[in-house]
Amino acid sequence: MRLARDGIPASPGIVIAPARVLRWEMPRVSAQGALTTGEPEAEVRRFREACAWARNQTREIQRQTEERLGGVEARIFEPQLLMLKDAELVERTESYIREGRLSAPRAWEMRVLEWESQWSHTANPMVLDKLNDLADVHARVLRRLLDLPELEPVLQRVGEPVVIVAPELAPSVVARIDPERVLGLALDGGTRASHASILARSLGIPAVVSLGAFSEQVPDGAEMILDGSTGRAVVGPGEEEKRIYRERDFRTREWEQEQLLLAHLEPVTLDGVRISLRANLDLPGEAVSARAHGADGVGLLRTEFLVIGRGTAPGEEEQYSAYRDVAETFSGKPVVIRTYDLGGDKFPPFLHMVPEENPFLGWRAIRVCLDEPALFHAQLRALLRAGARGDIRVMLPLVNEISEIKAAREMLERAASELGGEARSAARSLRLGVMIETPAAAICARDLARHVDFFSIGTNDLVQYTLAVDRGNARLAKQYNPFHPAVARLIKMVVDAGRDAGVEVSVCGELAANPLGAFMLIGMGVEVLSVGTSALAEIRKVIRSTDARDAARAAQVALQAFTPDEVVDALAAGLGRGTDVSIFGGTLGLPVPN
């Protein structure tokens, strides 16, 4: 039986191995659950001891994670530690023991179920992560109360390497996975920003998430292909299909070896147009590798690593240190730092954000920053101070209105007035830009251009908002198409507005890391592309193999197209003209055969 399913690519890489299907079960609690002997206070003390033990165990897992993977990954466990001290969860459980004369396991289970019922009506990704954390905490406390051994890290008892297939995996399980035994993760739920995905990327394990009811259909032990780069999982593949994926994996690995050799080559087209090729960074520690791979600077430094999983907001000094390190690594080159893009699928516990039915259209990004001036002010001060150490540029996410830019600029000026010396001097020359992520911003780009120093097109959200397609919904994966004519025309509108206003236009979304997408962007006149470190060499090769005049002609044809297929056909024909497209290490963005 062959089964193919498309989900969300969460961690790159290709693996072919047997499936190990895991279905976690919560320890069973007696349905009776009433205290028949003993005093409630003794049961309360037993519950408190279990919570204290669970906190210690969680801290130990956090410590091991920090040693093994780093501080950002370790902070994933902060929400669990907060839950174990939450009065609504812990004290209410104690009241159930006292007032209802329930056993500690029964009272704990009842209270956890009540919490779950408050959140489980929504598919909000940040709430789903919270539910996963709660399940982790629930099981740890319950196993202690029932005197059951803690679950062993995955596959400690299994010899052969496998791909884990499961509905979801708790962070404590993923953090202790042995990459020699677990070659990949295929999960029914999750998002690219979920805790399991973050940990999988840190471990270097290919992962695909949001596969639906995949775990219910996969026979345990069945051979499968997992492609974490495209988001495809195939069970029971034929020999020819395995050969194709092995060849793709071999070429990818071969290409990775080639990347450093290409780093010194200038990103210049065949007809002499220089494209500035910058890096997208999730963490400051990635800057050294990006510089080694020839990045011209940083086109996007995401700052959410400072807040995800945190119980308190980061201080100014911590932020300053992180920004300064990146600026010094890229001394003399631009470093574009995006202010907090919170909300959506990024939920910092200290903000106590109310769950929203549609979080990507809710309180997020610049809206949060302007509504939380203390949080934003500390970030702006840190950015201004770091600006004295390099060419730091500040970028505001999800801007729709001129008033948002003006409000942010006023806060920048206020922060600068508080600072003296080099920081105040740096503030005078600091460049402020915005991400163009919505149709509204694209359509009003000419107006916005009068108030900013640069644009950066975030194609991930622009595609989502233009097509009304949730980019985290696997069922709609085929409808999420960056080559849709509407998306192409909006991008061209922004590029033209920036050119006419003398404002730099870059593209930092995933489209820039796609060879066919990069070719289209060059043809539209984009002169700055920002991609992940792993894509730098490939896009450099695209640039050096492209004649900008051919790209412009192909883009013009694509802009007249009526369907995504016609856009792709026009670009593929233009890219193929005089170019051996097989030299590129990755996909050209064409559909993957079923």
Q: Which of 170, 186, 220, 217 is nearest to 14 (CA)?
A: 186
Q: Left, alpha or beta for 57 (phi > 0: left; psi -120 to 50: alpha)?
A: alpha
Give the CA dihedral 492, 495, 500, 506, nearest 10 degrees: 180
Q: Which is catalytic among the residues 51, 369, 444, 508?
A: 508
Active-site annotation holds for 195 = yes
CA–CA distance from 466 to each of 459, 462, 486, 490 (Å)?
A: 10, 6, 7, 9
Say how far apart CA 129 and CA 121 lie, in whole Å.
14
Q: Which is catalytic among the residues 195, 293, 444, 484?
A: 195
Q: Which helix (H) or strand (E) holds 486?
A: helix 485-501
Q: Which helix (H) or strand (E) holds 425?
A: helix 421-429
Active-site annotation holds for 369 = no
Say how far apart CA 23 and CA 295 lie, in whole Å.
43
Say how far apart CA 106 and CA 125 lie, in whole Å.
29
Q: Radius of gyration (Cα) for the chain, nearest Å?
A: 25
Say how far apart CA 491 and CA 485 lie, in whole Å.
10
Strands 8-11 and 207-209: antiparallel
Structure tokens given for 92: 């209410």
Place of tokens 């890489």: 13
Say how far apart CA 29 and CA 25 lie, in whole Å.
12
**For residue 241, what are the contacts with CB-CB under 8 A and spacing of at least 6?**
225, 234
Say how far apart CA 442 and CA 494 lie, in whole Å.
6
Structure tokens given for 132: 């996963």
Say how far apart CA 462 and CA 440 lie, in whole Å.
10
SS3 call for 455? strand
Structure tokens given for 484: 């849709």
Q: Which residues are catalytic?
A: 195, 508
